[in-house]
Each structure stands twice: as C-alpha cells, then as structure tokens.
Amino acid sequence: MKGTLMTDIARSRSAPRIKFTYQAALGLLLVGLIVLFGILQPVFFHLNVLFDTTSIVGEIGIMALAMTFIITTGGIDLSVGYILQLAAIVFGVVLKGSGSLASAIVCSLAAGTACGFINGIIISKTRIPPLVTTLATMNLFRGVSFIIAGTSSYTGFPAGFKLISTYLVFNAIPVQFFYFVFLFVFFNLVYARGTLGRSLKGIGFNEGVLLFSGIRTKRILLFIYTLCGLMCAVAALIYLGRLSAAKTSMGNDLNLQVITAVVLGGTSIMGGVGSMVGTFIGVLIIGVLRKGFTLVNFSGNIFNFTLGLVLIVALIVFAVIEERKKTSGRTLKS
C-alpha cells in the first residue's frame, strides 16, 4: 500500500511545488496516524488489519474522486450520500422484483446517473447556485428513496454479487481497494494532466474567461455532476456488496466523509486549486481513522464528531493560508 502511495506522488510531478509538499506532509500524517493507532492497539500493525482499512474506503473514495472535480470548480454536491442511498434502494427493489442481478445493477447505475444529471442540469442551466441546488436535491433524493423502498427490507443478495466487494486479492487485499486505485489513476491523470482538469481549475478561478478560449463550461459542469451521480451508484454497489442489505439510513454520514477527504487533501473549497492525490491520501486517512477508532472502541459517533472537527480545522487552516497568500501576492506584483 505504501508503495503505491510513493509512485502516485511521483507521478504527479506536474503539480506546482507547494502542492507537492503539502501532499507529502499529508502522507506523513497518514503514516503518523497508523503508528499512533498501532501503539494504542498493536494489532493494528498486522498487515491484514491494515489492508482491512482499505475495505471501507472503497465507497468513500470513489465518490471523493468525483467530488474533487466538483469542488475544484467552486461548487459542491451535498446530495452524494443520498444518491448512493437511492441507488442502493433501487438495486434492492429491482433485484427483489425481477430476480435479475444484471438488471438490478443497470437500474441502480442508471438511477445514480439520473440523479447526478438532475443536479447538473439545474446547476448548469439555471442560476441556482450548486449549494442550494444540492441542498434541495439531497432532500428530494432522500425522499424518493424512502418512497421507493416502502416498508420492505432488501436482503439476500446472490453470493456472486457479494464477491464484488469481498473478494480478497492475493487473499489479503480487499478488491475494493483496487477499484479505488484503478479509478484514481484515471481520475488523477485527467485531473492533473488533462484538458478536463485544467478546465475545471479554470472554472473554479474565473469561469467567464474560459469561454474566451472556446471551452464549453456549462457542458463540463453538467458532465461532472452527472459523473458524480454515476460514481455514487458505483459506490452504492460496492457498499451493498459489503453490507448485503439495502437500507434507508445510509446517506447521512457519507457526505461528511467524502467532503472531508477532499478538503483535507488540499482541494480548496473556493475552487481553482486542488489535488487528486491529496484526495486519495485523505480518503486513506479517513479509512485509518475509522478502523483505528473501531479498534480503540470509539463509536461511530465519536468518529463523526472527530471528522466534523477535522473538517472545520482544515477549512480554517486553508482559509488562513489563502488570506496570507492574497496579501503577500499584492506586494509582489508591480
């Protein structure tokens, strides 16, 4: 796992130097956390326990990758947790109704994509800001997921399906981690070195100017929100594979984890600046925290609380740095 980390850092050489140092520091933080938890609970150091941390990051990670795109443009998507919930419910319902695993998967992915599309259309076509939009759609999706679920429960997924999330590569590393890394590679490539990434950063800084370069910003926005919806659906499938039940309470905590991972990773909430590598490490940190907390017998609620604090602190720190940069930048320019 650490090996992959290093190569990822090396791969993103195109990122400006300051960012590189931050991500490296973040990586150190990750290592530090591992060590900390290991000291508190030596079982943490066992390889299979370490690898197990990555099992829970599959869902968060995939959503965080897409969320990085969105936050880079200065936007946000508060509905991700509930898109996942909706996609999961759809899967359960279709599977129960038709018995066909394939159609359940397809419908689930379609549902997620549709949700993302709704977000994207509203954000790109109307002047309603992403914040308000996703605040509203978050409720909408949540409500719809309840409506579809009704009162039945959805369990009993076919064994083959569970394998999607529980298969252990080399009998050790959870397969989800590979999904995550795989997607990360693509996302990072496009983000750090691709046209899309640059356009996203441009949109985050100054959307108007991009039109001057022939870049169709509205189309790009529509795309990233729709993509996010799709990623949420993919994450839903992985989540389901792990939990084997579709419930209507999944949405809540995921939002926080996804956003915290992205912000922690160095992507600015104001847009324009960001790092996919940072998100990757951020996700891992959250995974370690989760696992670590469980091992030290802290409940999920303490975890959420800590995460909230982490987010606040990260926001404050970054905001202070931005302010510092602004005032110093002025003296440099003639």
Residues 164-223 that bind another protein (CB under 8 A): 186, 189-190, 193-196, 198-199, 201-202, 205-206, 208-215
Decide: is 312 part of the binding site for another protein (CB under 8 A).
Answer: yes
CB of 244 to another protein, least distance (A): 23
**Residue 168, strand partner residues:** 174
Find the binder of another protein among 20, 51, 146, 178 (CB under 8 A).
146
Taking the least distance from each CB to another protein, the nearer of 58 and 75 is 75
Find the binder of another protein among 80, 87, 104, 144 (CB under 8 A).
144
Decide: is 76 part of the binding site for another protein (CB under 8 A).
Answer: yes
CB of 247 to another protein, least distance (A): 13
Decide: is 152 part of the binding site for another protein (CB under 8 A).
Answer: no
Q: How far apart are CA 137 and CA 257, in angstroms?
A: 19
Decide: is 126 part of the binding site for another protein (CB under 8 A).
Answer: yes
DSSP 253-288: HHHHHHHHHHHHTT--TTSS---HHHHHHHHHHHHH
CB of 186 to another protein, least distance (A): 7
CB of 13 to another protein, least distance (A): 9
Taking the least distance from each CB to another protein, the nearer of 50 and 114 is 114
Taking the least distance from each CB to another protein, the nearer of 14 and 152 is 14
Q: How far apart are CA 275 and CA 61, in angstroms?
A: 14
Binding mask 103-122 for another protein (x = CB under 8 A): -------------------x
HEC profile for 202-226? HHHHHHHHHHCCCCCHHHHHHHHHH
CB of 162 to another protein, least distance (A): 28
Binding-site size for another protein (CB under 8 A) equals 74
Phi first, then psi, for residue 173 (nearest 5°) are: -90, 125
Decide: is 307 part of the binding site for another protein (CB under 8 A).
Answer: yes
Which are the contacts of 195, defined by CB distance < 8 A and separation ≥ 6?
Answer: none
Place of tokens 């926080």: 256
Q: Which of 66, 59, 61, 67 is nearest to 84 (CA)?
A: 59
Which are the contacts of 185, defined by CB distance < 8 A and separation ≥ 6?
Answer: none
CB of 165 to another protein, least distance (A): 26
Decide: is 269 part of the binding site for another protein (CB under 8 A).
Answer: yes
Which tokens sit at 310?
Answer: 């982490």
CB of 112 to another protein, least distance (A): 17
Taking the least distance from each CB to another protein, the nearer of 175 and 261 is 261
Decide: is 135 part of the binding site for another protein (CB under 8 A).
Answer: yes
Q: Are 98 and 127 in contact (CB under 8 A)?
A: no
Decide: is 297 part of the binding site for another protein (CB under 8 A).
Answer: no
Question: Where in 238-267 is the site for another protein (CB under 8 A)?
Answer: 248, 256, 259
Stretch touching another protein by CB under 8 A, among 27-35, 94-102, 126-134, 227-235: 126-134
Decide: is 131 part of the binding site for another protein (CB under 8 A).
Answer: yes
Q: Are 275 and 77 in contact (CB under 8 A)?
A: no
CA distances from 15 to 111, 263, 288, 309 (A): 35, 17, 26, 28
Decide: is 327 part of the binding site for another protein (CB under 8 A).
Answer: no
**H helix or E strand, kind and range, residue 154:** strand 154-155
Decide: is 34 part of the binding site for another protein (CB under 8 A).
Answer: no
Decide: is 143 part of the binding site for another protein (CB under 8 A).
Answer: yes
CA distances from 132 to 193, 224, 254, 269 (A): 31, 17, 19, 15
